[in-house]
């Protein structure tokens, strides 16, 4: 079993940080949470992640691990006795990694694009692309879960964490723009999965409520406006 200090550099509103928190909780590891402020990066962050200068950074025995998906795999490798995060079968693992990559490189960037788009027409155009992605994810979920509650089977796993961590922000954006991104009629299985994921014991105290995230978003933009004037 891995020993040594475990520190997590992050902010509680970051879904990428939430991923690491969930994974550590699955392994019953309690990190020391070092709060970063988004506008002023600490010396520790710049030293630990010189390439991207971003959170989350996991410090295990003071050694830094960066990039949330890399950190999730690291946690699984380092604490093998806890419940598995990634599937044990190499093919299932490759499929999980494929969809994680799709979510982070295609799907979520579209959600961010939607948030930044100005005007109903521009937003609707991006929403159409997101909806295509939603159908792919719904199909993938049905194929992967093999009739069970989560992507990971009976309990949450890698893909549940990767997609589930983003849902807080997706719902916050839905609130702010008063437009539905996740349509339950078109993705019924994922809609049910969403409820199960958010109420799971490991997850529920970690993913912030959408209302709180919407509030942070408003405050952050007010702050940015004030400092740029």
**Smallest gap from residue 62 Cβ to other proteins (A):** 11
Contact status, residue 20 vs residue 10, Cβ threshold 8 Å: yes
- Looking at beta carbons only, is 106 or 155 nearer to other proteins? 106
In terms of CB distance, is 12 or 102 closer to other proteins? 102
Give Cα separations from 90 to 35, 137, 145 (angstroms).
Answer: 36, 21, 16
Write out the binding residues for other proteins, residues 136-155 only, by CB under 8 A: 136
- Token pair 């799709």 is found at 102
Peptide bond between residue 56 and the one before it cis (omega within 30 degrees of 0): yes
Q: Which is nearer to other proteins, 55 or 66 (CB)?
A: 66
From the CB of 97, what's the least distance to other proteins, in Å? 5
What does DSSP assign to residue 23?
H
> In the set 21, 36, 67, 200, which binds other proteins (CB under 8 A)?
67
How many angstroms separate the Cα of 43 from the Cα of each of 36, 37, 65? 10, 12, 16
Cβ neighbour number for residue 135 with a 10 Å cutoff: 12
The phi and psi torsions of 10 (rounded to 5 degrees) equal -175, -170
The minimum distance between CB 112 and other proteins, in angstroms, equals 16
How many chain residues are in contact with other proteins, going by CB under 8 A? Answer: 23
Scanning 74-82, 149-157, 184-192, 216-224 for contacts with other proteins by CB under 8 A, the matching segment is: 74-82
Nearer to other proteins, 28 or 101 (CB): 101
Residues 81-120 as x/- pattern, contact with other proteins by CB under 8 A: ---------xx-xx--xx--xx------------------
Residue with tokens 């590891």, as numbered in its chain: 29
SS3 12: coil
Least gap, CB of 212 to other proteins (angstroms): 30
Q: What CA dihedral angle connects 92, 64, 166 and 112, to 10 degrees?
A: -120
Give the C-alpha distances (Å, rounded to integers) separating 180 from 26, 154, 192. Answer: 31, 29, 16
Which C-beta is closer to other proteins: that of 106 or that of 217? 106
Instruction: Work out how close the CB of 46 gets to other proteins at its nearest, in angstroms, rounded to a whole number.
Output: 15
At closest approach, how far in Å is the CB of 105 from other proteins? Answer: 9
Query: Given the rule CB under 8 A, which residues bind other proteins?
Result: 2, 51, 60, 63, 65-67, 69-71, 73-74, 77-78, 90-91, 93-94, 97-98, 101-102, 136
């Amino acid at each position: 079993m891995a020993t040594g200090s475990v520190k997590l550099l992050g902010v509680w509103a970051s879904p990428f940080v939430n991923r690491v928190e969930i994974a550590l909780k699955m392994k019953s590891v309690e990190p020391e949470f070092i709060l970063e402020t988004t506008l002023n990066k600490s010396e520790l962050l710049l030293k630990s992640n010189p390439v991207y200068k971003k959170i989350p950074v996991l410090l295990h025995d003071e050694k830094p691990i960066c990039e949330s998906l890399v950190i999730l795999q690291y946690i699984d490798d380092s604490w093998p006795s806890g419940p598995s995060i990634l599937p044990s079968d190499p093919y299932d693992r490759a499929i999980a990694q494929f969809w994680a990559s799709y979510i982070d490189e295609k799907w979520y960037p579209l959600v961010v694009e939607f948030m930044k788009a100005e005007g109903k027409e521009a937003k609707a155009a991006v929403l159409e692309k997101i909806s295509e992605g939603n159908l792919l994810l719904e199909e993938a979920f049905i194929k992967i879960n093999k009739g069970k509650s989560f992507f990971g089977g009976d309990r949450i796993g890698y893909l549940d964490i990767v997609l589930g961590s983003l849902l807080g922000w997706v719902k916050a954006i839905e609130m702010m723009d008063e437009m539905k991104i996740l349509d339950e009629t078109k993705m019924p299985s994922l809609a049910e999965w969403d409820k199960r994921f958010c109420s799971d014991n490991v997850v529920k105290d970690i993913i912030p409520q959408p209302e709180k995230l919407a509030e942070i978003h408003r405050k952050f933009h007010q702050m940015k406006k004030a400092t740029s004037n």
